[in-house]
Amino acid sequence: MYPIQHRSMAQSSRRCYCSVPFCSNNKQKFPYLSFHDFPVDGEIRARWVRAIRRDEGPSFKILRGSTFVCSQHFPPEDRYTSASGRIRIKQGSVPSRFHWNDWGGGSQARESVYQRARKRLGVAVLDDSDHEMPDSTEGALPAVTNDHDYACRPSPGKLDSATQRIRELELQVLSLEIEIQHLTVKKQHPLLFNFCVTDEDYRYYTRFSSKEVFTVFWDSVYPSASRLVYWSKAQQTAHVTPSPHRKLPLIDELFMFLCRVAAGLQEKTLSTIFEVSLSTVSRIILTWTSYLYQVLGSLPVWMTREQVQATMPDKFKLYCPQGESYSRLHRDPLCETPSSLSLQSETFSSYKNHTTFKGLIGVAPCGVITFVSKLYTGSISDMEITRKCQILHLLQPGDELMADKGFLIERMLSEVGATLVIPPLKKSPQLSREDTLKTQAIARLRILVERAIRRVKEYHIWDGLVPLSTVGSVNQLWAICCLMSNYQGPLDIKGDKPV
């Protein structure tokens, strides 16, 4: 017996703590215990680490003079008292008494099932090495089959039924896997392609002239649309963050919005078609309304004088050489009657005999909508809406502007150097040839403008009354419908056919 080389340090210290898990012994609480450093020998130290079940890491470092194991974890035979009165442990000793092994009492091997069964039946357990088994089977004890019957061979009938049950479960699992795969493929396949197959389908559901035009539009908005923030998410945070997990493919979200705006489908119907909740439909439509308003509103749709000249039909060049646009007051859409009398008086239009909104649209001679004002209450005057919409700031000296016969804006145009083009006055019983051709050209331009406005009115969201609950986004929807109508192609002066 030799004393261990790592003597107990800090026997007189008051700051010794045991590093064994579930042990809170320290020198201050238990001064009669001894605390021992980890051995210097690497092999014995590794045995100590394995014994206490605590590997070294960021939260546990073995340091000389500060990492100890108390004497409570060593059996009495591994401890002895030195001549100086200090408790030491023998060379090569390893701690073995812990909380998880009942302080060394749980180290005995557990009795076998056979031994426990013999004891329960009151039969002495015989040691095979000391007693010879008789050749005769007479007097043999009955087999104990109550415990662990899985050790016995099952009957053939049970095997057959178990095999049949396993086959049934395997077929059920296979059927469910096929169903899951089918649903996954169905979920990943955009619903758009189920509804829109031909160009006519695209015109009905989306108001785009063809699949090709829709694809071009989708490819242009997809890079930014993939980072959309849902409307409800934008309410909770002030900074832009990636949107949460989507219920639908992104292209189906755009298709849902177009079905609501272009085809006029109600949100309840969309909820059934896309198999999402009504709140999800509302959130998607509000999000895409705000997004497309920002995207389309950032496009420079106002045409320069050079662009107007390059796209102007030949007949218009003869009589409106500097024509910039045709201004038209549009008195749609109708809205629900508010309960407030003051709001009723503001939104009531004597022209429509209903509460309505007013908006100003500018159309280039080629039929493209180049200006969209916001919507105003129906009681506002024509001159006031022309002044407030700031279309006059876009005109340059020398520009020519045509307006509806109810627009008395000639003086306002003269202030910015522009001219109002009106049909020539009849000074004689019969107009001259030149005046007749000019009148016809102006009339055709007005027809072209009517067709451009009709395209906007064909967005079926304006078929009924605008609910007061959507008044907050009605300006955005109005601008989107006007600007997206340009994607239907240019208007032919002889008919409403894209060329």
Q: For residue 293, what pLDDT is reported?
A: 94
User: What tens digit of pLDDT does each residue of 398-434 get?
Assistant: 888 887 766 778 888 889 888 887 776 666 677 777 7
Interior angle at CA 402, CA 397 and CA 405, nearest 5: 135
Question: In a 10 Å sphere around its CB, with 0-12 CB exposed, 13-18 middle and 19+ buried, how is residue 3 labelled?
Answer: middle
Q: Name the residue type at position 60.
A: F
Which of 66-70, 80-84, 87-91, 243-247 has the weakest average pLDDT? 243-247
Assess contact for 427 and 297: CB atoms under 8 A. no
Q: For residue 427, what pLDDT is reported?
A: 66
Stretch 359-365: mean pLDDT: 86
Which of 59-63, 95-99, 133-137, 277-281 has the weakest average pLDDT? 133-137
Residue 320's pLDDT band (boundaries 50, 70, 90)? low
- Residue predicted with more confidence, 239 or 444: 444
Residue 480's pLDDT band (boundaries 50, 70, 90)? very high
Stretch 366-389: mean pLDDT: 84
pLDDT at 322 over 90: no
pLDDT at 282 over 70: yes
Q: For residue 348, what pLDDT is reported?
A: 47
Which of 49-53, 265-269, 329-333, 443-447 has the weakest average pLDDT? 329-333
Q: Name the residue type at position 267.
A: E
Assess contact for 399 and 408: CB atoms under 8 A. no
Q: How far apart are CA 253 and CA 273, in angstroms?
A: 12
Distances (CA, A) of 391 to 94, 308, 325: 93, 16, 10
pLDDT at 28 over 70: yes
Q: H/E/C letters for each residue in 73-128? A: HCCHHHEEECCCCCEEEECCCCCCCCHHHCCCHHHCCCCCHHHHHHHHCCCCCCCC
pLDDT at 128 over 80: no
Residue 113's pLDDT band (boundaries 50, 70, 90)? low
Short-list 426, 383, 375, 372, CA closest to 406: 383
Short-list 307, 304, 262, CA closest to 480: 262
pLDDT at 465 over 80: no
Q: How far apart are CA 8 and CA 93, in angstroms?
A: 14
Provide the angle, in degrees to the nearest 10, between the axes of the packed helices 250-261 and 474-484: 100
Assess contact for 322 and 305: CB atoms under 8 A. yes
pLDDT at 1 over 50: no
Q: For residue 336, what pLDDT is reported?
A: 47
Short-list 402, 389, 372, 439, CA closest to 308: 402
Distances (CA, A) of 352 to 125, 308, 348: 108, 34, 8
- H-helix or E-strand spanning residue 496: strand 495-498
Q: Which residue has the tokens 């442990």?
A: 89
Q: Which residue has the tokens 């090569």?
A: 92
Q: Is the peptide bond before 333 cis (omega within 30 degrees of 0)?
A: yes
Counting other chains too, the contacts that 352-358 makes at CB distance below 8 Å and 24 or more residues apart are 352/378, 354/378, 356/331, 356/332, 357/331, 357/332, 357/333, 357/466, 357/474, 357/478, 358/329, 358/330, 358/331, 358/385
**What is the chain's mean pLDDT, rounded?**
77
Q: For residue 237, what pLDDT is reported?
A: 53
User: What tens digit of pLDDT does each residue of 166-205 get?
Assistant: 989 999 998 888 877 766 656 667 899 999 999 999 999 9
Collapsed DSSP state (helix, strand, coil) of residue 413: helix
Stretch 299-319: mean pLDDT: 78
Stretch 458-469: mean pLDDT: 79
Terminal alpha carbon distance of the chain: 108
Q: Name the residue type at position 226.
A: S
Residues contacting 315, CB < 8 A, separation 6+ = 437, 441, 444, 493
In 155-313, alpha helices (H): 156-188, 192-195, 199-206, 211-225, 231-236, 250-261, 267-274, 278-297, 305-311
Q: For residue 8, what pLDDT is reported?
A: 44
CA atoms lying within 13 Å on the CB side of residue 127:
2
pLDDT at 257 over 70: yes
Q: For residue 226, what pLDDT is reported?
A: 86
Q: How far apart are CA 11 and CA 33, in angstroms?
A: 9
Stretch 456-475: mean pLDDT: 81
Residues in the chain: 499
pLDDT at 291 over 80: yes
Q: How far apart are CA 490 and CA 484, in angstroms?
A: 12
pLDDT at 52 over 80: yes
Assess contact for 361 and 369: CB atoms under 8 A. yes
Residue 147's pLDDT band (boundaries 50, 70, 90)? low
Assess contact for 284 and 253: CB atoms under 8 A. yes
Instruction: List the structure tokens of 92.
Output: 């090569």
The alpha carbon of 481 is separated from its chain's Cα centroid by a whole number of angstroms, namely 26
Interior angle at CA 365, CA 437 and CA 481, nearest 5: 140
Q: For residue 254, what pLDDT is reported?
A: 95
Q: How far apart are CA 421 and CA 365, in angstroms?
A: 13
